[in-house]
Amino acid sequence: MVLVGDMQDRVTILVDDMADTCGTICHAADKLLTAGASKVCAVLTHGIFSGPAISRINNASFAAVVTNTVPQDDKMTHCSKIQVIDISMILSEAIRRTHNGESVSYLFSHNLL
């Protein structure tokens, strides 16, 4: 893993589509902090959080924001560093628009949450 750019005294954001065991994201967070980042935040689309994931997040120096595409209630009871964003309304609107032949790209320019 190689970092590109200056991380010194910067707030950094890690973005991942799917976090399963969280080994890679924890490794990336460690790299950023070693490179001088002042803070690391993780934004995850699908939080699978299997195996050692919760333990790794609890021991990591970042908090995670994750969508509710996978139920997180049980995981949140074991890890206070997980914050969940409800995306059910935007998903239902995307499905409705697709079904009715309407523009889905409209969702990118209009805040429906």
Mean pLDDT by runs of 10 across the 113 residues of the chain is 94 97 97 97 97 97 96 95 95 96 91 65
Give domain limits for the chain. Answer: 11-86
Beta carbons within 10 angstroms of residue 4's beta carbon: 5
What pLDDT was estimated at residue 101? 97
Q: pTM to 2 decimals? A: 0.86
If you compute the radius of gyration of the chain from its CA atoms, what whole number of angstroms results?
16
Domain 11-86 has CATH 3.40.50.2020: yes
* H or E, element range at 85: strand 82-85
CA-based nearest residue to 44, from 87, 89, 4, 100: 87
Query: Which residues share a beta bridge with 41?
Result: 13, 63
In the three-class reduction of DSSP (H, G, I as helix; E, B as strand; rest coil), residue 76 is classed as helix
pLDDT of residue 111: 73
- Size of the chain in residues: 113
